[in-house]
Amino acid sequence: MKKLTLLLLIITATALSQNYWQQHVHYKIKAKLDPDKNLITGSETLIYTNNSPDELNKVYFRLYWNLLKKNSHAWKSSQRRKIYQRFEREYKGIELKKFSILVDEQEIPLNYKIDDTILEAELPKTLKPGEKIIFKIEWEEEVPPGPGLRTGVTNRCFDIAQWYPQIAVYDRYGWHKDQYIGMGEFHNDFGDFEVEIEIPKSFIVTYSGELLNPNEVLPDSVISKLKEARENPGRIYRIADFSNRTITDEERKTYVTWKFIAKNVRDFAWSAYEKYIWDAVFWENDEHPNGGVMIHALYFKSNEKHWKDEAVKFGLHAIKFFSENFGLYVYPNAFIMSSYAVGGGMEYPGIVFIGHNITNSPYRGLFGVIVHELGHQWYPMMINNNETEFAFMDEGFNTFITTLAFESYYGRKNNLLDTTLWFIRSSGISTDERENNQRQYLLLALTGYEEPIATHADHWNENYPATTAFYPKTATVMFMLQYVLGDSTFAKLMKEYYNRWLFKHPYPEDFYKLAMEVSGNKDLRWFFDEWFHRTYTCDYAIKSLRSKKISENGKEVYQTTIKVSRKGKAVMPIDIFIKMKNGDTTTVKLPVDAWLNDEWENEIKVNLQSKPVYAEINPDLRIADINRLNNTHPFPKVKITFDNTISLTQFLTPIDAYWLRWRPSAWYNTIDGIKLGIMFKGSFLQDVRSHKLWALYSTRSKNLDFLFKAERRIPFEISRNTFTGLEVLKIEGRYGGSFEIRKRFSKALTIPPFHDLSFKVQLLKSTDNSYLDPIYHWDQGRLTRILFNYTYLNRWRPLRTRFSLIFESSTILSDFNYSKVYSELVQTFNLPMGHSLALRFFAGYGNGKIPLQTKFFTSTSSPINQLFSPVYRSKIFPSDLRSHIEPFGGVGLRGYYDQNLSDDRAYSLNFELNFPSLLPFISRMPIVGKIFKTAIFFDAGKVWGQNQRTSIKDIKYNFGIGIRSDIFEQVSNFTDIFKEIGLSSIRFDFPIYVSHPITGEKKFKFRWVLGFERAF
pLDDT of residue 649: 83
Give the residue from 686, 713, 740 where a domain finishes. 713
pLDDT of residue 11: 45
pLDDT tens by residue, 429-450: 778 999 999 999 999 999 999 9
Q: At what angle do helices 365-375 and 310-326 cross, to 10 degrees?
A: 40
CA–CA gap between residue 895 and residue 914 (Å, rounded): 18
Res 16 pLDDT > 50: no
**In terms of domains, do 828 and 912 share one?**
yes
Give the residue from 633, 657, 679 where a domain finishes. 633
CA–CA gap between residue 492 and residue 338 (Å, rounded): 35
Q: Is residue 204 part of a domain?
A: no
Q: Which amino acid is at 296?
A: H
Nearest 5 degrees, angle CA 9-CA 14-CA 18?
A: 140
pLDDT of residue 18: 65
Q: Is residue 885 part of a domain?
A: yes
**In terms of domains, do 902 and 993 share one?**
yes
Q: Is residue 162 part of a domain?
A: no
pLDDT tens by residue, 375-420: 999 999 999 999 999 999 999 999 999 999 999 999 999 999 998 8
**In terms of domains, do 599 and 616 share one?**
yes
* Spatial contact of 474 and 397, defined as CB atoms under 8 Å apart: yes
Pairing of strands 673-684, 658-669: antiparallel
**In terms of domains, do 607 and 719 share one?**
no
Q: Is residue 549 part of a domain?
A: yes
Q: Which amino acid is at 70?
A: K
**In terms of domains, do 781 and 664 share one?**
no
Q: At what angle do helices 474-485 and 525-532 cross, to 10 degrees?
A: 160
Could you list the beta-strand ranges (E) of 340-394.
Answer: 345-348, 351-355
When pLDDT is averaged across residues 790-804 and rounded to a whole number, the result is: 96
- Residue 935 has φ and ψ, to the nearest 5°, of -140, 155
Nearest 5 degrees, angle CA 908-CA 910-CA 914?
A: 175
- CATH value at residue 576: 2.60.40
Residues 6+ apart with CB under 8 A from 348: 161, 208, 267, 268, 269, 381
- Residue 895 has φ and ψ, to the nearest 5°, of -80, 0
Chain length of the chain? 1016
- Residue 107 has φ and ψ, to the nearest 5°, of -85, 125
* Spatial contact of 1003 and 997, defined as CB atoms under 8 Å apart: yes
**In terms of domains, do 654 and 616 share one?**
no
Confidence of residue 428 (pLDDT cuts 50, 70, 90): confident
CA–CA gap between residue 530 and residue 528 (Å, rounded): 6
CA atoms within 13 A on the CB side of 429: 30
Confidence of residue 52 (pLDDT cuts 50, 70, 90): very high
* Spatial contact of 652 and 429, defined as CB atoms under 8 Å apart: yes
Res 879 pLDDT > 70: yes
**In terms of domains, do 680 and 806 share one?**
no
**In terms of domains, do 505 and 548 share one?**
no
Q: Rounding to the nearest 10 degrees, give the CA dihedral for residues 842, 847, 853, 857.
A: 30
Q: Is residue 284 part of a domain?
A: no
Residues 6+ apart with CB under 8 A from 501: 383, 510
Confidence of residue 940 (pLDDT cuts 50, 70, 90): very high
* Spatial contact of 94 and 66, defined as CB atoms under 8 Å apart: yes
pLDDT of residue 758: 98
Is 678 in a helix, a strand, or coil? strand
**In terms of domains, do 621 and 718 share one?**
no
DSSP lists the bridge partners of residue 603 as 563
**In terms of domains, do 702 and 725 share one?**
no
CA–CA gap between residue 297 and residue 312 (Å, rounded): 5
- Residue 929 has φ and ψ, to the nearest 5°, of -70, -15
**In terms of domains, do 923 and 998 share one?**
yes
When pLDDT is averaged across residues 52-71 and rounded to a whole number, the result is: 94
**Of 75-84, 326-335, 986-995, which gets the smallest average pLDDT?**
75-84
- pTM for the structure as a whole: 0.94
CA–CA gap between residue 591 and residue 484 (Å, rounded): 9
Burial (Cβ within 10 Å: 0-12, 13-18, ≥19) of residue 589: exposed
Q: Is residue 22 part of a domain?
A: no
Instruction: State percent of the chain over pLDDT 70.
Output: 97
Give the residue from 713, 731, 756 where a domain finishes. 713
Q: Is residue 174 part of a domain?
A: no
Res 180 pLDDT > 60: yes
H runs (alpha helix) in 827-905: 863-866, 870-873, 879-882
CA–CA gap between residue 900 and residue 891 (Å, rounded): 10
Confidence of residue 589 (pLDDT cuts 50, 70, 90): very high
**In terms of domains, do 698 and 723 share one?**
no
Element (H, E) at 493: helix 487-501
Q: How far is CA 540 from the centre of its chain?
A: 28
H runs (alpha helix) in 94-136: none
Q: Is residue 949 part of a domain?
A: yes
Which residue range(s) make up the domain with 724?
714-1011
Pairing of strands 152-154, 157-160: antiparallel
* Spatial contact of 518 and 496, defined as CB atoms under 8 Å apart: yes
pLDDT of residue 15: 45
* Spatial contact of 50 and 216, defined as CB atoms under 8 Å apart: no
CA–CA gap between residue 90 and residue 70 (Å, rounded): 6
Res 371 pLDDT > 60: yes
Task: Specify the higher pLDDT residue, 223 or 931.
Answer: 223
Nearest to 238, CA basis, from 308, 134, 180:
308
Res 935 pLDDT > 90: yes
What is the total count of domains within the chain?
4
Confidence of residue 288 (pLDDT cuts 50, 70, 90): very high
